[in-house]
Chain A
Amino acid sequence: MPFYKVSLLISLSLVFISACGTPHAHEVPVGIILYQGEEKLLIQDEGILTYIERDAIEVLHGKYSDTISVEFIADEGHRYLPDPTEFSLVITHGNTELLGVDHPVGGDEWSFRLIGHQTGETTIRFELLHIDHFEFRSQDFDVHIRDQENSHI
């Protein structure tokens, strides 16, 4: 058999080897909201970051914060919590000597607590992981760790 035929056959064989998953739909986050209880701490929406009451997340030295929960803002504007069987929250903070993170809280993927190891200032960042790739990465949010007497909390 001439070579061009052999090579065409090999090529076509390769072409028709296929394996593919099925696309599925899910929300596209464009923002994130942090709550402490019912109180909003901050909102990052469409790239704009707004701290609600203070200019940072405040944590007391040596004490766990109250539970903080996150919520995402979809590109259509509504707020939602992703399906925890497919999505997970990755929390990264700038200085582990200053700050500790307890996550998840009570098995809730979207809740965490912070503890200040030392007084000072650092940052914290939130990423939404979908199976093996990130869907969203927040800005760096400021975290201030204060002694009790200097705290606004």
Chain B
Amino acid sequence: MFCTYSFTMRFFHPSSFRFSSLLLLLFLMKLSVPFPVLSETTEHTVLTGRITDYRTGSPVSYVYLHLEKINRTATSDREGKFRLDNVPQGTWTLVLYRIGYVTQKRSIRIEPGEKHDDIEIVLQPAVISGMPIEIIANEEDVRGPRLEKSSVRISGPELRSNLGSTVAETIAGRPGFSQRTMGATAARPVIRGLGDARVLILQDGERTGDVSYAPPDHSVTIDPISANEIEIARGPSALIYGSNAIGGVINIVRNQIPTSRPTALTGTASMHGFSVNNGISGAVNIKAPYRDDFVWSLDLNSRYGQDYSTPAGSLENTNMLATNSAAGLSYIRPWGYSGLAVSTYLSRYGIPPNPESGHPGGVDLDMVKVQVESQTERLLQNRFFNLIEVQWSYRFYNHKEFEAENIIGTEYNVNTVYATVKGRHNRVGFLNDGVVGFWAKFQDYFIFDRFNLEANSYAASLFTVQDFDMGNWNVEFGLRLDAHMVVPKSEELDSRIGHIRRRQYIGLASSAALVYDFGRGFYAGGSVMHSFRPPKPDELFSRGPHLAAYAFETGNPDLSAERGLGTDLFVRHRSSRFSLETAVYRNTFSNYIYPRDTGRRNIIFADLNDYQYTGVHALFYGLETSGEFRISNHLRVEGMVDYTFAEQKVNVKASDVSGTESSGPESTGKESRTLPLPMIPPASLSAGISYEPGVLTVGTKVRHSFKQKRIGEFETPTDAFTVLNAYLLYRFNSSGMLHTLSLNVDNLLNTEYYHHLSRIKELYPEPGRSFNLLYRVYF
């Protein structure tokens, strides 16, 4: 038995850094080499233009422009001018966001040699808007099913008015979305009942390198206050990022590596206060040109909060302190750009105490993440590919869980190198522009606890996402071939959890989506996704106490890969006054992996329950509907309903370790029965009304969550509750700068309620009334 505790910070372990690891690194380095030798002459297209107000004709500053698919972003300056560098030939969707104006999408076609240096864009003031649902302004620019993908983008006013202290909280109000929590800081999004590794969280298109997918006490290492926008991708486009994201991909866009040269120094400064925990956060984000070809960016933020208050009293040990800062530099040339960014995430937060699970004072987590990333794009003309992108990053992640002063219960140490090469091709035959790529990962994974877990993970993927049009149909499809290998430091034939050994997984994930345009803003469609998720090292080899999660986690080295089959159908209508979307979905899993509470007390840590990683057959289905209706130019109502049903099929002998290659629930021949899965959100509905007479928006939203009595083993039900929220948004211009103020009152009536996806729902209610004030200035 081994135990290693003689260090505090550790990068690659010499003994684990094998020759194969070195080869992989050299290979990743090699990926970047072709760029300087690509000497073909290229014509770079720079999109420049000016944005004006539809009514007054005056310039509109601080418009956030995003060229989808190729992720070019820019912000218009005080004169309304903008610039997007290095746009390859093809047809692209340009999305424009601006507070106080209708979000606009337009299709832009770039032909070789064509100039796009004087584009005039007119924005229509949003008499009502200022709130969530994207409104389409210029119908002639956005006709066609290609623009009606299942991906969603949260930006501008929606992001501002829903901005919470975590990414999960920020997006939890959307239909089908919820959040798994454990205290105030440890929160992770749940989509249609699916969470953990089935929802992939990315920062600027790459994985975070943290362990938030694992036990519920781990937080996501991205502060939402720095997000320029949040993209949520589902269906085929999710396969660009991973095979496992059947729930969806959440990409927090911070643009740490600038892709275009701003016309002048631009940025934002924000202050955000929360009364519920006497919390405050601040952020400064700056981008500026330097000499002719360089752009630098700086992103500084920090967050502080004391213990949360609830209607039942203070929620002990939920204080937090975090900072998430980054600096980037890009070299932008006619052939493309190359950039580098360095960022850090430092955090200390508390997990509330559980006297029955061995920590009456709670557990404190110290988190450190350092990442270095590089992104290079090369434009190619008159070739099969019009754009080649290489992205690689190194992430060091460490967190320590302090059970008491100087006593570390669990420590995670993860070093990860990611590399991606993507090529975006021109139209080929009937296929529109699509993407083909390669992705690789090397990860050195170490958990220090009673027994330690040390493993290296290797992964490589080939993927493609394509789409084509057939009349009013748009068809999108994607394939991703994944190979994963998890190598424990040492093989153990006869450990307590079974035969610890090297595991390899190869699988093909696929997805297809269809959208039909009926005209007049009516669309219908559906998608199918066959997902592939190899088990994580924790799921295979864990065997240690995790006090903060109230669990002794036991892995299962025999686990096979999780396979899911997801289908959904939707109908959608959008017009200037009315929008409605309804979707139904069904997801089945042949080996849904989750830590099952066995209800048994652990023999080594008698105050913790054994949580056994198990694979079961699982079924999810549900529906979600959301809509918005403009009663008048100033008044708008909105509503939302969602419902998820989830169950698992288990052996009658519940103590069996199922889901293994040799002893799965079906292969044992035993009778099986269905049980609800734990941590599934109850049905909920919400309704809201907002009034916007001008630069001021006031509104209120009421959310009702039904009782959840379909509970997993050893889980407790939660009662229904109704929570009332209110908000006030105000904006003004001064000295050429745009100022915004957002006042949100969460849980206005100070209702005591228990969230079913909270790991501490048996012990503590959710936070009470909170006045949240966000001030942001755009300069």
Q: Which of B6, B340, B448, B452 contacts A6 (CB 8 A)?
A: B340
| B473 contacts chain A at the CB level, 8 A cutoff | no
Given A23-B3, A139-B601, check contact A2 B36 (CB 8 Å). yes
Whether B12 contacts A16 by the Cβ 8 Å rule is: yes
Q: Which of B1, B14, B374, B604 contacts A7 (CB 8 A)?
A: B374
| A30 contacts chain B at the CB level, 8 A cutoff | yes
Central interface residue in A20, A21, A75, by most chain B CB within 10 Å: A20
User: How many of chain B's residues touch chain A, expressed as a range?
Assistant: 35 or more
Whether A12 contacts B390 by the Cβ 8 Å rule is: no
Give A1-54 interface residues, CB cut-off 8 Å to B.
2-8, 10-12, 14-31, 44, 46-47
Mark interface residues in B369-398 (1 if CB within 8 Å of A CB, else 0).
010111010000000000000101010100
Mark interface residues in B9-27 (1 if CB within 8 Å of A CB, else 0).
1111110010000000100
CA distance A47 to B1 in the complex (A): 20
CA distance A27 to B3 in the complex (A): 10
Given A3-B331, A4-B374, check contact A133 B408 (CB 8 Å). yes
Q: Which residue of A lies closest to B360 (CB)?
A: A92
CA distance A129 to B408 in the complex (A): 11
Q: Which residue of A lies closest to B329 (CB)?
A: A3
Contacts of A26 in B (CB 8 A): 1, 3
| A65 contacts chain B at the CB level, 8 A cutoff | no
Whether A133 contacts B10 by the Cβ 8 Å rule is: no
Secondary structure call for the A interface: mixed
Interface size on A, residues (CB 8 A): 44
Whether B606 contacts A47 by the Cβ 8 Å rule is: yes
| A153 contacts chain B at the CB level, 8 A cutoff | no
In the complex, how many angstroms separate the beta carbon of A8 from the nearest chain B beta carbon? 5
Whether B407 contacts A8 by the Cβ 8 Å rule is: no
Whether B1 contacts A139 by the Cβ 8 Å rule is: no
Contacts of B340 in A (CB 8 A): 3-4, 6-7
In the complex, how many angstroms separate the beta carbon of B267 from the nearest chain A beta carbon? 22
In the complex, how many angstroms separate the beta carbon of B428 from the nearest chain A beta carbon? 29
Contacts of A4 in B (CB 8 A): 32, 35, 338, 340, 374, 376, 390
Whether A20 contacts B450 by the Cβ 8 Å rule is: no
Contacts of A140 in B (CB 8 A): 606
Q: Which of B9, B10, B374, B407 contacts A129 (CB 8 A)?
A: B407
Given A8-B29, A133-B409, check contact A19 B7 (CB 8 Å). yes
Q: Which residue of A lies closest to B402 (CB)?
A: A132
Whether A133 contacts B32 by the Cβ 8 Å rule is: no
Give A62-91 interface residues, CB cut-off 8 Å to B.
75
CA distance A11 to B374 in the complex (A): 10
| B182 contacts chain A at the CB level, 8 A cutoff | no
Mark interface residues in B597-618 (1 if CB within 8 Å of A CB, else 0).
0001111111100000000000
Whether A135 contacts B450 by the Cβ 8 Å rule is: yes
Give B544-575 interface residues, CB cut-off 8 Å to A.
545
| B714 contacts chain A at the CB level, 8 A cutoff | no
Contacts of B603 in A (CB 8 A): 30-31, 46-47
CA distance A30 to B340 in the complex (A): 50
Whether A20 contacts B29 by the Cβ 8 Å rule is: no
Central interface residue in A3, A19, A29, by most chain B CB within 10 Å: A3
Contacts of B417 in A (CB 8 A): 11, 15
Central interface residue in B394, B406, B545, B600, by most chain A CB within 10 Å: B394
CA distance A10 to B370 in the complex (A): 12
Whether B450 contacts A133 by the Cβ 8 Å rule is: yes
Whether A139 contacts B606 by the Cβ 8 Å rule is: yes
| A138 contacts chain B at the CB level, 8 A cutoff | yes
Whether B338 contacts A2 by the Cβ 8 Å rule is: yes
| B2 contacts chain A at the CB level, 8 A cutoff | yes
Given A4-B35, A6-B340, check contact A137 B2 (CB 8 Å). no
CA distance A22 to B7 in the complex (A): 10
| B4 contacts chain A at the CB level, 8 A cutoff | yes
Whether B4 contacts A136 by the Cβ 8 Å rule is: no
Given A25-B1, A27-B1, check contact A14 B14 (CB 8 Å). no
Q: Which of A16, A44, A132 contacts B606 (CB 8 A)?
A: A44
In the complex, how many angstroms separate the beta carbon of B14 from the nearest chain A beta carbon? 6
CA distance A131 to B8 in the complex (A): 13
Contacts of B681 in A (CB 8 A): none
In the complex, how many angstroms separate the beta carbon of A16 from the nearest chain B beta carbon? 7
| B430 contacts chain A at the CB level, 8 A cutoff | no
Whether B605 contacts A20 by the Cβ 8 Å rule is: no
Contacts of B339 in A (CB 8 A): 3
Whether A14 contacts B1 by the Cβ 8 Å rule is: no
CA distance A130 to B392 in the complex (A): 40
| B526 contacts chain A at the CB level, 8 A cutoff | no
In the complex, how many angstroms separate the beta carbon of B259 from the nearest chain A beta carbon? 14
Given A16-B12, A18-B11, check contact A133 B415 (CB 8 Å). no
Contacts of A7 in B (CB 8 A): 340, 372-374, 392
CA distance A21 to B411 in the complex (A): 15
Mark interface residues in A91-118 (1 if CB within 8 Å of B CB, else 0).
0000000000000000000000000000
Whether B25 contacts A12 by the Cβ 8 Å rule is: yes
CA distance A24 to B7 in the complex (A): 14
CA distance A18 to B409 in the complex (A): 22
Contacts of B403 in A (CB 8 A): 133-134
Q: Which residue of A lies closest to B396 (CB)?
A: A14
Given A6-B340, A14-B396, A15-B415, check contact A131 B5 (CB 8 Å). yes
CA distance A43 to B235 in the complex (A): 56
Contacts of B7 in A (CB 8 A): 19-21
Whether A15 contacts B25 by the Cβ 8 Å rule is: yes
Whether B36 contacts A136 by the Cβ 8 Å rule is: no
In the complex, how many angstroms separate the beta carbon of A36 from the nearest chain B beta carbon? 22
CA distance A44 to B606 in the complex (A): 10
CA distance A18 to B417 in the complex (A): 16
Whether B1 contacts A21 by the Cβ 8 Å rule is: no
| B595 contacts chain A at the CB level, 8 A cutoff | no
CA distance A23 to B15 in the complex (A): 11
Given A17-B11, A23-B2, check contact A3 B338 (CB 8 Å). yes
CA distance A136 to B373 in the complex (A): 41
CA distance A75 to B338 in the complex (A): 56
In the complex, how many angstroms separate the beta carbon of B538 from the nearest chain A beta carbon? 18
Contacts of A5 in B (CB 8 A): 32
User: Could you list some 17 contacts between A and B, CB below 8 A?
Assistant: A2-B35, A3-B329, A3-B376, A8-B32, A8-B374, A15-B11, A18-B11, A18-B13, A20-B6, A21-B6, A22-B6, A23-B2, A23-B4, A47-B601, A47-B606, A133-B408, A139-B601
9 closest A-B pairs by CB: A21-B6, A47-B603, A7-B374, A23-B2, A139-B606, A11-B394, A7-B340, A4-B32, A3-B338
Seen from chain A, the residues whose Cβ lies within 8 Å of a Cβ on chain B are 2-8, 10-12, 14-31, 44, 46-47, 75, 129-140
Q: Given A23-B4, A47-B600, list of 5 further CB < 8 A pairs? A: A11-B392, A18-B11, A133-B5, A134-B450, A138-B606
